[in-house]
Each structure stands twice: as structure tokens, then as C-alpha cells.
Structure 1
Amino acid sequence: MLDGWSGAPGTSTYHFNPRNAKIDKHIDTWDSINNQEFFSLEAFLDFLRGLTSTHSVPRGLEQPEYTVLRRHAGYSVRRYRPFLAVQTALDAAAAGGSTPVDPAGPGGQAFDRLARFIFGGNASAQKMAMTAPVFTSSQGVMQFALSTVPAPLAGAEVEAVEEGGGCWAVRTFGGLADTKSVQQQAQQLKKELERDGVAYQEAAGWKLA
């Protein structure tokens, strides 16, 4: 999580001509590129990456609401609204593992507990649609974000929580999300935040989605 962060994806500058009461120049600068000249190949490739991005949530699946505040070449800054979730301990945490827990580690048992909950294994016997993404965190929990969260069954080892929202730095990557690649991506994100002078809360940990 980021400390007291606010910003914008870029800057738009308008030049107003008082003689004819019209705007005679409009200049956009993007946070995600260095070369702001027209026509910039870097800007074109950045725009093309946005059009062809495969990092999207399938249509119809719920997800926490967020606003992109700033987009850099290697990461974006998002402000998440508060959301409800059901969570359970990751397999290593449930077995008494150390903290922080590897978010890319085994999570089959945790997923099964949450799946039983949303498929009717709750105090209201309410069935809910699958949501995205599935969050795992270095704090040792797996979460499904939900629009409503009924009370869990006694002894189900799941709990309903409300996440407070806030600003998060997000890095997307492709390929297998194994422990090695996830750790590399997390370290790269930290380096880029430090390079750009963006303060973050180390104690808040990080999430894999």
C-alpha cells in the first residue's frame, strides 16, 4: 500500500486564446513514457500495449472497484474503494507456517474452503457467483471479493471482512505465477517505486491476484 498517495495518469495542458475565445493548443503528457514528442514511437508502443493487453477480468465476473491514478511503464497506481470479502488462511499459514507467507505457495485447501462458502456452504445457504481476482497475500490469507457476504457456518474456518480500500501500486506480468517469478516481480516493483520516489508501507505486505 502507498503512503498518502494521490496523482493522475498524465497531464493535459490547454492554451486559451483570449482574442477569439478559443483553445488553440492542447498538449497531453503521459506518465508511462519518457519521450513526449510528437510523433513518439514510445508513445505509440505504449498505446498499442494498452489495446492488446491480456490482463483483464472475464466479462460478467465481479471485481473490486478501482480508479487508475497513474500509469507508469512498469506499474500503475490504483485507488481501490472499500470492498467486502470472505477469507481463509493459506495452506502454509493454516499449518502454522512462518510470517510472511509466500502468496504463490500452495493454496488448494484454502481455495476449497472459500469455494464451499460461495457455493452455498454458509449460514444463509446462499449461492454466489465466482468473482475475480482471487487474492493471496504475504499476510497468509486467500480472499474472494464479494458484493454481499453472508455469515459463515460455525467451524468453517472462513471469515467475512471489509477491506478498507486505499492506494496500491500494481504490476502485471504474464507466465506462470510460481514463487521465483512472483518474488522477482515483487522486487522489481519495489525498485521502480523507490526509483520514482513513491513511498509505500512495507508492513502492509503485498497481494498476488
Structure 2
Amino acid sequence: MAIAQLSTQLRPIPATGGSFRRFTTGLPPTSFCPPTTIFKTRKNQAIPLPTNQNLKWALKLSLVEQSSPPKPTVDVEGLISFLYEDLPHLFDDQGIDRTAYDEQVKFRDPITKHDTISGYLFNISFLKVLFRPLFQLHWVKQTGPYEITTRWTMVMKFMPLPWKPELVFTGTSVMGINPNNGKFNSHLDFWDSIKNNDYFSLEGLLDVFRQLRIYKTPDLETPEYQILKRTANYEVRKYAPFIVVETNGDKLSGSTGFNDVAGYIFGKNSATEKIPMTTPVFTQTLDPQMSDVSIQIVLPMDKDLGSLPDPSQETVKLRKVEGGIAAALKFSGKPTEEIVREKEKELRSSLMRDGLKPKKGCMLARYNDPGRTWSFTMV
């Protein structure tokens, strides 16, 4: 902006006086030479001024020479280490260290704003009572001379509703630093699930209400995973290793083979041992044509391959799934084959649009008993 203002204030240079001089070569007294013939004298040296085409560059250079930006004096690396230690306590009894923030800190997310550290801490206390949040910090890094960005996941349960729906938000927080005292003076949250992250965002409010929908998930053990990113269309999850008992199936939405794998946990094994039921039931295919399908039941996390009894049927096998990164699309209702294939294509399209490359095959996870759960509440 300052450069633009300087360029509009240039005026013809007077013929006499000052340190600027005009040289003429057979031109009328009222004429001016082209810019390349105008000189500025400095320490008895004649220095050609730039042409009009290079004038903008020269003004920029002149400003850089006259005033270089001050070097940061804030210990940003120390603040990064501090955030790695402090932010995991955001919602526990210890809480964050308020002395690291200006009293007039600016906090904004798509549906909340506060302009003091007291207001910010009140918001944290409110969320603790209403949602029981679990905050997971992924990384912290410097993104500007006086700016640090964090990436996080927050999982919350809305306690007032009988079904206690789970709300998940992932995103980044851009934290500004006051160069005068090294404290944080701003904290701006950006959610991955919406485009409009300005306050007040109706899109953000709708995202909250959408996650409050009625659904029913059995209170059973399930494979452990961490949500790394939740967009409007899918989740990116990091799964821990788990063990399955599996056999051949017929199609992704089918139940062929379920009685065989269920029989294993009900005692049809070498030790006639009954194993606790878990969720979900997986059907998986590893080829694009979905011709080779397996059906699987997840076994409890405290089991390992060495301690589990052998299946009584030759077609039933135990296998350790190594875990890793997976993308998941949630949907409700009874999963017919047509719906499953449609959702698989939808998920692949979303991933490729975002620059991710999905592997071949897919997996359907069913969390409900289809015989005793209403279709519209299934997940």
C-alpha cells in the first residue's frame, strides 16, 4: 500500500534547485528528457534513475534499504514446546496455563467468539460440562514470524440427549503471538468440515446439528482408531492393529458365512471357548469387481493369535489386521448392494477430488443387528 501511494505522488522535476538536474539535448526549454536521462547526484556521482517500467521496482528497493523489518525476539521454538505440553490439558482438571495468554486474547471459531482470556476459559468450562470433550493434538509448527499453527481432533458426546450422540471436529488453530511480551494474543479455529469458517457461520451451526441425529450403536467393544481428519463427506482414520475371525462371503451387503464366524465365538473352536461379542461385522473385498468377498467378526483387543483357540471349521480362519490409515464414509439405513456400491463410488470420488489415492477394494462395517434395529437408525 505504501508503495502505491508513493508512485502516485511523483511530480515533474523542476529545472533548477535541489539535487535533481535536467539535461536537454536540442529540446525546447519546457521539455523533459526521457526518464533514462534524468540523474540524481550523490557524493559527487551521477547515478541514472530507472525507467518508468522499472520505477516500481526501484521504489520497493528504496523502501527495503531504508527500513528492514525487525528480527523476531520471541522464543517461538519455546512456545511450540510449551503448546505440546499444555494443550493436551485443555479439558482435563489441570487445564491450560492462562498466564501464556494476553488478558485481551481474541478467540474465534465458526460459532463462538470471546475477546478475553476469562471468556475463553469460560467457554472451555461450558464445553466440559455439556460435551465431555476429548482433545487430541496432532502437531504444532511455526507458520509466521509471530504465528503458530496446531492441528487437532476433538471428540465430544452431547450428554443432554438420551442417545448421547458423538460429535467430531478436526481442524487447525492459528495462534498469534504478541511480539512485546511473547504471549498469545489471538486464537482462530478452522474446521475441516465446512468452507465458511468466519464467525458467525450458519454452515458451522448446521454441521453441529447434523451430528446430533438419532442413531443406535451397540455398546460393544470395537477396533480402536483415531480420527485424523473429518471433512463434510468422509473421515480419515488411523486404526490400531486388531484380529478377526473370517470366512468366505458372497457380496458386500450379504450375510453368507456369518453363522460360521459367529459360531467360532460362540464356542465352535478347539477349546469350546466362548468369546465376547464385538462390533462391527465387516465384509471386505480386495478387487474392483468385488468378486472375492470375506465376512469378518472382530475379536476382543485383549486377545492375540497365540492365545486364541483354533477354529473347528477349515473354512474359518484367524487373521491379524495390521491397521493403518483408512477413509470412512458414514451412512444410515439398510445397506443393500446397490447402496453399498454407490457409497463406495462416492467415497472414492471425494478422496480423489481432495488429491488422495485410495487403494483397490473396500470394506463395509455394520454396527447393528439387522433383525432388531430400525433401518433408519442403523449405522
Settle same-fold status: TM greater than 0.5: yes
Paired with 1:70 and 1:126, the residues of 2 have a C-alpha distance of 39
> Which whole-Å CA distance do the structure 2 matches of 1:153 and 1:179 have between them?
29
**SS of residue paired to 2:205:** helix
Query: In the alignment, does 2:363 pair up with 1:207?
Result: yes
Q: Distance in 2 between matches of 1:117 and 1:182?
A: 27
Counterpart secondary structure, 1:36: coil
Give 1:174 shift.
1.3
Partner residue in 2 for 1:34:
195
| 1:68-107 alignment runs, 5 A limit | 68-90=227-249, 92=250, 102-104=251-253, 106-107=254-255
Q: Does 1:115 align with 2:262?
A: yes
Q: Specify which structure has the bigger relative contact order, considering alpha-carbon pairs within 8 angstroms and separated by 6 or more residues.
A: 1
Task: Tell me, yes or no, if structure 1 residue 176 matches structure 2 residue 334.
Answer: yes
2:212 is paired with a residue whose SS is helix
Moved over 4 A (4+): none
One-letter amino acid of the structure 1 residue matched with residue 228 of structure 2:
L
Pairing partner for 2:352 from 164, 187, 194: 194
Aligned-pair CA distance for 1:21: 4.2
Q: Is contact 2:268–2:312 with CA below 8 Å preserved after alignment?
A: no
Q: Is the 8 A contact 1:10 1:29 kept in 2?
A: yes
Answer whether contact 1:124 1:151 (CA < 8 A) is retained: yes
Evaluate the alpha carbon distance shift between residue 153 and residue 67 of structure 1 in structure 2; reply closer, same or farther with a 3 A threshold: closer
Partner of 1:143: 296
SS at structure 1 position matched to 2:326: strand
User: Structure 1 CA distance, aligned partners of 2:192 and 2:294?
Assistant: 33
**Which structure is larger by alpha-carbon Rg, 1 or 2?**
2
Q: CA deviation at 1:114?
A: 1.0
CA positional deviation for 1:50: 2.5
Following superposition, the deviation at residue 156 of structure 1 comes to 4.3
Relative to the length of structure 2, the TM-score reads 0.47
Is the 1:113–1:156 Cα contact (8 Å) retained in structure 2? no
The superposition leaves residues 149-199 of structure 1 with CA deviations (integer Å, 9 ceiling, x where unpaired) of 523334342111000101111001112200111111111111111111111
| 1:58 lines up with 2:218 in the alignment | yes
Does the Cα contact within 8 Å between 1:57 and 1:133 map onto a contact in 2? no
List alignment gaps of at least 5 residues for structure 1: 1-6, 93-101
On the 8 A contact 2:243/2:298 being kept in 1, the answer is: yes
Tell me the C-alpha RMSD between the 2 structures: 2.0
Q: CA deviation at 1:22?
A: 3.0
Q: CA shift at 1:49, angstroms? A: 2.1
- The equivalent position to 2:281 in structure 1, one of 113, 122, 134, is 134
User: How many equivalent pairs are there?
Assistant: 188
- C-alpha contact 1:69 1:79 (8 A) present in aligned 2: yes
Gaps of 5+ in 2: 1-150, 153-169, 287-292, 366-379
**Identity, % of aligned positions:** 37
2:204 — aligned with what? 43
Residue 221 of structure 2: SS of its match in structure 1?
coil
How far 1:58 sits from its partner (Å)?
A: 2.0
- The aligned counterpart of 1:96 is none
Amino acid at match of 1:30: W
